[in-house]
Amino acid sequence: MQKPQEILLAEPRGFCAGVDRAIEIVERALQKFGRPIYVRHEIVHNTYVVNDLKAKGAIFIEELSDVPPGATLIFSAHGVSKAVQEEAKARGFHIFDATCPLVTKVHVEVAKLAQEGYEFIMIGHKGHPEVEGTMGQLDHGIHLVEDVEDVARVQPGQTEKLAVVTQTTLSVDDAAEISAAVRARFPNVREPKQQDICYATQNRQDAVKVLSPQVDVVIVVGSPTSSNSNRLRELAAKLGTTAYMVDSADELKGEWFHGLARVGLTAGASAPEILVQQVIDRIKALGAVSVRTMAGIDETIKFPLPKGLKIDAATGLELSERTPETGPSAH
């Protein structure tokens, strides 16, 4: 029986700038204010990251009533609704917002166009926290569509001023198909100047498109709740390559690799490189002898931290710098 020979690593893979920033916000808050730090929802959708931060003193909650008065609260990278922001303020928490700046950009656009009298069609997955946060920027006039069929059913109050917005972590191809259906039904619809799907989602999907035809099986490292990781697995399968998603190396099964020479490996934007390394080690134990990284886009984007968490020379506060997994200093 042939064993796997080569592992081909997608490039780019793993952490994006928004995830790196969100994790750093929690870690710096813990250093500056001590434990516990409360975080509304999982800071990013990755089991390893969440468990690591729990061990350091983060407490993850869904209801603000679970946070004691005066505590420090962090909003997750997915963003929150206006109602959550207002309730948190009213309860007097010390708040840091780890919403990804590329999600905030969508929130700002929605607020601006709503003031001009626009209604919205949002392309996204029902129940995903990013969708709840974006739709919750308004109290009415934003309509969710999950697929082309939904576009035929949606009933905006008016169509003179209608704009489309998108969850940042969708399949680029699926979103394009749904957008086309929206344009066909509402020809005057306003679309964002730059697509809402973020650079990291686009780049990781593009890398899988290059990777998939070159390998016999694709492994995606990511948690079941991670939207962008699920999309990577679906994309590889759509391209005709057997694909599996694993939360950790423990979930790999030997039979997945029987008779297959080349294994493709990628990771969702919330999956840390340590998990990728553990998967590599496990596949090597099954027989792989070489690891090669594909040529791909070198991501250099880095987002600034919120005020109040930057290292403050005046106070002499020593914050140990976390090495980011993305941006210029990552490699």
If you count them, how many residues does the chain have?
331
Give the pLDDT of residue 331. 41
Residues 80 and 155 in one domain: no
Structural domains in the chain (count): 3
Return the CATH number at 32. 3.40.50.11270
119 catalytically annotated: no
Within this chain, do residues 155 and 234 fall inside the same structural domain, yes or no?
Answer: no
User: What's 255-301 look like in SS3?
Assistant: HHHCCCCEEEEEECCCCCHHHHHHHHHHHHHCCCCEEEECCCCCCCC
Alpha-carbon distance of 146 to 154, in angstroms, equals 11
Whether residue 112 sits in one domain with residue 70 = no
* Pair 162, 114 in one domain: yes
For residue 35, being part of any structural domain is answered with yes
Q: At what angle do helices 199-211 and 172-185 cross, to 10 degrees?
A: 120
In a domain? residue 328: no
The answer, yes or no, to whether the previous bond of 68 is cis (omega within 30 of 0) is: no
206 and 285 fall within a common domain = yes
Tell me: do 152 and 84 sit in the same domain. Answer: no
CB 245 within 8 A of CB 233: yes
Q: Rounded to 5, what percent of the chain is helix, strand, coil?
A: 40, 15, 45
Tell which of 131, 152, 185 closes a domain: 185
Q: Same structural domain for residues 203 and 284?
A: yes
Q: Which member of 24, 42, 109, 130 is catalytic?
A: 130
Q: What confidence score (pLDDT) does residue 193 get?
A: 84
Assess whether 53 and 128 both reside in one domain: no
Whole-number pLDDT of residue 317: 54
Domain containing 114 equals: 102-185
The per-residue pLDDT for 313 is 47
Residue 190 lies in a domain: no
Per-residue pLDDT of the chain (331 residues; tens, 9 = 90+): 677 899 999 999 999 999 999 999 999 999 999 999 999 999 999 999 999 999 999 999 999 999 999 999 999 999 999 999 999 999 999 999 999 999 999 999 999 999 999 999 999 999 999 999 999 999 999 999 999 999 999 999 999 999 999 999 999 999 999 999 999 999 999 999 889 999 999 999 999 999 999 999 999 999 999 999 999 999 999 999 999 999 999 999 999 999 999 999 999 999 999 999 999 999 999 999 999 999 999 999 999 999 899 765 445 455 555 677 765 445 4
- Mapped onto helix, strand or coil, the DSSP state of residue 22 is helix
Please check whether residues 230 and 208 belong to one and the same domain: yes
The DSSP string of 135-175 is HTTSSSSEEEE-SHHHHHH---S-SSSEEEEE-TTS-HHHH
Any idea what the CATH number is for the domain that residue 268 is in?
Answer: 3.40.1010.20
Instruction: Identify the pLDDT of residue 329.
Output: 46
Residues 6+ apart with CB under 8 A from 52: none
Does 181 lie in the same domain as 107? yes
Do 203 and 288 fall into the same domain? yes
